Chains A and B, each alone.
Chain A
């Protein structure tokens, strides 16, 4: 049964289908506890369905207009302030979870990226990706997003400097598992 479900790609919808069934059944039997849950769900759902497509369209358009390749050309050039700035820019244009950034840092390391800039990349990747900022502004407001970014930037730079200071004397390398 499980196999058939996953084959037609229904696996991830199973919870949703069960929820729908539960709503129908409880409607028929008049279970009073279900209606507030259903009300909650519809309220959240209505908001998400209007909000999200707009945001994803915005993210899609941003994605096609900011060519990552151009930024990638600057990586490895100089490890000072400028190098760090390019790392942050490159990270901001990415999407996806943090573990998706690990293989990228391996490539950056091979290209001669400094230890500090590797961790700056990880810091910016985890906290300043443009698609994430779009969502953050949309759902928690511009003030929240600005404040968080403002405090986050110096903190992940400090973390990167500490990491570099600590790892310089050791034989640090980024490995490809």
Chain B
């Protein structure tokens, strides 16, 4: 957190001395993006607050924690592949889940499948590249995402 403050403040100061106008454009752009995602973020925070209340932490740890093994990875891979959540929302969500006992490995699988595999957008992808190609890319990406997620989990 302190690291982030230091980096952001120094970047803004350096940028300001190099080019005032550019800096203001950048600041405006950034804050605009923040305002744009705010409703979606609040909705997710509400949902997570309710879900984490309904599911006791012990259950969360059993299903998605360090020792959840194949079960945890499967749940993460499925939800990651199916859902369509922007990274701006997915990472804060992942941080909350991490604090509540979900393991790095499970989160890594969720994040990588979320980024690389898109079942919901498959029809759209097929329009650009053809159905077979889209299926192949998603299939290979699913396998790749699993490998990446598991490796990250092992090394964290």
Contact = CB atoms under 8 A, between A and B. Distances in A.
B81 interface: no
Contact of B23 (A37, A61, A97, A175): A61
Interface string B46-73: 1011101100000000000000000000
A147 B125 contact: no
Contact of A60 (B30, B52, B118): B30
- In which size bucket is the chain B interface? 35 or more
A62 B29 CA distance: 10
A88 B101 CA distance: 34
Given A57-B12, A65-B22, A163 B27 contact: no
B137 A54 contact: no
A15 B44 CA distance: 10
B118 A166 contact: no
A60 B12 CA distance: 10
Interface of B: 1, 4-5, 7-8, 11-12, 15, 22-23, 25-34, 37, 39-43, 45-46, 48-50, 52-53, 84, 86-88, 91-92, 94-96, 98, 104, 107-108, 111-112, 115-116, 118, 121, 124-125, 127-130, 133, 136-137, 140-141, 144, 147-148, 151-152, 155-156
